[in-house]
Structure 1
Amino acid sequence: MAFSFFRNQLSIIIEWANQQPGVLLYRFPTASDEIKDASKLIVGPGQGALLVYEGRVVEVLPTEGIYNLATDNHPFITTLTKLRTGFESEHRLRVYFYRSAENVNQPWGTASPVKYLDPVYQFPVELGANGNFSFRLVDARQFVTEVAGLKDLYTTQEAKTLLQSRLGQALATQLAGAQFSYQQLDAQLGTLSAALRAQLAADFAQLGFELTDFRINGTVFDQGTQQRIGKISNMSAAAQAAAAGGLNYAEHEKLKALRDAARTEGGLAGAGLQLGAGAELGKVFASQTGGPADSSPAADPDPVQQLQKLKLLLNEGILTQEEFDAKKQIWLDKL
């Protein structure tokens, strides 16, 4: 009992000897927070220390080294003269260690879909994003004041969850301002990453952190957006096919209707289109040729263009091979 009494009055060595990578802030444990005068504080590599004395943050030690502590808790005298306070001193000194080393490759992902309007196709887009970031605690005073308080322990995971909560809104803001279509996103991930890092740096600094790296690794669209993208892809493919045959998109849609009718039971005749597709083809081609496709028009159409259109009709299943060969011969004779 007597030995324990005198031991509590002696100066001590204070250090974070077994630092764990998952801990960001750690309070050095003492029985009564009576750190005695002339105690030694050792700050190791990748660490910093913060001193809370009589309820106030009085010192931040951001660099490694050995520090001598001078307090009002003098050895032996303190406890012997504090009978009215239960042999305890009102001069409380708490020592907190914090991790100053960089926390690298922290994975992140959006907790809910990010929404914005595609600037090219004017349809709503919902997507999720993921990546990784690195950060460092650089302002321990700000961090303790604004985030951790005087907790005995604050983990890297807690900090990561807090920082990640800022990402979704920042990403939505950047997508809206960047005016990237969904088709451009994969090619612009580097640009978006740099812009987001610059935007988030100020938010992180308010919490005492430095954002040292930030990357977007990928995005994924929700089901509704994928369906809208699929429709646009189909329309684009149809427009390219129409252009290859010398038609515009509206004319190509007419050809698709003929194709669908040709594939129903009874074929074109069952749809009331009579033998072959001659009459209906004439209507489709009229806007470009100025007259029926298989008669001599006032202004002769280009035989090569007409052969391209016939090939398109064959590919679409509107003309049979025999009908195509017969029509082709007519235009070959005009070359």
Structure 2
Amino acid sequence: MDIFGKIKEKLTNEFIDIVEWLDYTDDTIAHRFERYQNEIKNGAKLIVREGQTAVFVNEGQLADVFTPGTYDLTTQNLPILTTLKGWKYGFNSPFKAEVYFVNTHLFTDEKWGTKNPITLSDDRFGLVEIRAFGTYAFKISDAGKFIVDIVSTDSNFTNFEINEHLKSLIATRFTDTVGEANLPIELYAANTSELSETCREVMKPEFLSVGISLEKFYIENVSMPEDLKKEIFEYSRIDKLDLDKLTKFKTAKAIEAAAKNEGGTAGAGMGMGMGFVLAQQMGGMMTGAPQANIQMGNQQQAGSFPPPMPASVQYFYAVNGTQQGPVSFEQLQALFAGRTINRDSLVWKQGMTSWTALKEVEELKSFLGGSTPPPLPTE
């Protein structure tokens, strides 16, 4: 290049009259205005578009910050930079300063997740492990603080660079929040909305400390090991069942198991005994009041109506050191047949002075077998 070309390039690049940044990307958070060997002319125009903030930095010190608009760069519009430069009476020569444009629009659909399982303590299931993932949205709320604390001298700062830091912060605060929530383990997946809002409120101050506003935070899923899921589902089902229904369910299962063992006399006897109990229970459920009234009327007409039934005796029993009941004689028999209780299980009824082993209670000895029913009456 000849001497005239160099002079022309120097004159062309000597001053910059317009300071602006057109963002053609969707992931840039901060961009440093490039001006290789250039100076900004006194009176140059600064154009800050919507969704942007312009930050002037002088030798590592934060100077002036401009929101959207068009400005003439003079001592009146650069009061802090003027003070830092020592321009007491204005200036007419070009000046040097680093200019950063910061995107202030909302960055959405950012992903987060726990890298390792979170260990929690549950009253019923002991120590359990969960994982979680979701999305969040943020924007730059204090461009000056963000440039000084995060961007520093990076000429083109993207959301990829800040996301690793933010995801680590989110995972740490999420772990603290769920640990302090002390919810039953099955409620974490059922209360993601409430938990998401709580986590956002906890994290907001730390985001703001570096000039970032956490606008949205969502927990999309809380997962746990499959064996823990099965335990929770089983516990939930049992918790919804009352004792009577549970007894009938176990009795039906025992009958089904006994029916498969047709070759064993003991199994056949157990099946017959439990079948008798279940037939009584099912008959009581399926027979409606109108049908019962018809039968009673027929018996009265035939002169064979039995006397009133005595009051049913109610029994209490112990399982794993915990009192259960009360249940009727038939229900207790079904519990014995289904092996929920055994001959050594403690039982008690009104009139007994203390808990007694089932095998020692006279009317319950029939559960143990060896009794033969009387012959059927002949017509």
Q: TM-score, normalised by structure 1?
A: 0.68
| Partner Cα separation in structure 1 for residue 273 and residue 334 of structure 2 | 16
Q: Distance in 2 between matches of 1:16 and 1:172?
A: 40
Residue of structure 2 in register with 1:104 after alignment: 108
Asked if the contact 2:20–2:47 (Cα under 8 Å) also holds between the matched residues in 1, the reply is: yes
The 1-side partners of 2:246 and 2:131 are apart by 40
1:315, distance to aligned residue in structure 2 (A): 10
CA pair 154-180 structure 1, distance change in 2 beyond 3 A:
same
Distance 1:166 1:33, change over 3 A: farther
What is the alpha-carbon distance in structure 1 between the residues aligned to residue 10 and residue 38 of structure 2? 15
1:21 is aligned to 26
Q: 1:11 to 1:227 in 2, by over 3 A?
A: closer
Structure possessing the higher relative contact order (Cα contacts under 8 Å, 6 or more residues apart):
1
Match of 1:191? 194
> Partners of 1:44 and 1:50 in 2: how far apart?
13
Other-structure match for 1:68: 73
Q: CA deviation at 1:48?
A: 0.6
Equivalent residues in 2 for 1:1-335 (5 A)?
1=5, 2-32=7-37, 34-69=39-74, 92-118=96-122, 120-221=123-224, 223=225, 226-234=226-234, 237=237, 243-245=243-245, 247=247, 262=258, 269=265, 273=266, 275-277=268-270, 301=313
Per the alignment, do residues 175 and 256 of structure 1 end up closer, same or farther by CA in structure 2, a change over 3 Å counting? farther
The CA deviation string for residues 148-191 of structure 1, in whole angstroms up to 9 with x for no partner, is 21110110122222211111121122212222112212331111
Query: Is contact 1:28–1:96 with CA below 8 Å preserved after alignment?
Result: yes
Structure 1 gap ranges (5+): 79-90, 282-297, 317-329, 331-335
Q: Report the Cα distance in structure 2 between the residues aligned to 1:263 and 1:228, rounded to whole angstroms.
A: 33
Over the matched positions of the two proteins, sequence identity in percent amounts to: 22
Shift in alpha-carbon separation, 1:218–1:278, aligned structure 2, 3 A: closer
TM-score w.r.t. the length of structure 2 is: 0.61
2: CA distance, partners of 1:111 / 1:45: 37
Tell me how far apart the structure 2 counterparts of residues 299 and 213 of structure 1 sit (CA, whole Å). Answer: 65
Contact preservation (8 Å) 1:47, 1:63:
yes
Q: Distance in 2 between matches of 1:156 and 1:239?
A: 48
Indicate the SS of the match to 1:157: helix
Q: Compared with structure 1, are the counterparts of its residues 27 and 20 closer, same or farther at alpha carbon in structure 2 (3 Å cutoff)? A: same
Give secondary structure in 1 for the equivalent of 2:14. coil
Aligned residues: 277
1:81 corresponds to which residue?
A: none
| Cα separation, partners in 2 of 1:246 and 1:164, compared to 1, 3 Å | closer
Deviations 1:76-122 (A, max 9, x none): x77xxxxxxxxxxxx6311111101121232322222222112x414
Q: Distance in 2 between matches of 1:256 and 1:176?
A: 42
Q: Secondary structure at the match of 1:165?
A: helix
Amino acid at match of 2:64: E
- The one-letter code sitting in structure 1 at the alignment partner of 2:114 is T
Asked if the contact 2:56/2:62 (under 8 Å) is kept, the reply is yes
Shift of 1:241: 6.2
Report the secondary structure of 1:36's partner residue.
strand
Distance 1:48 1:115, change over 3 A: same
1:258 to partner: Cα distance: 6.3
The answer to whether the 8 A contact 1:11-1:37 is kept is: no
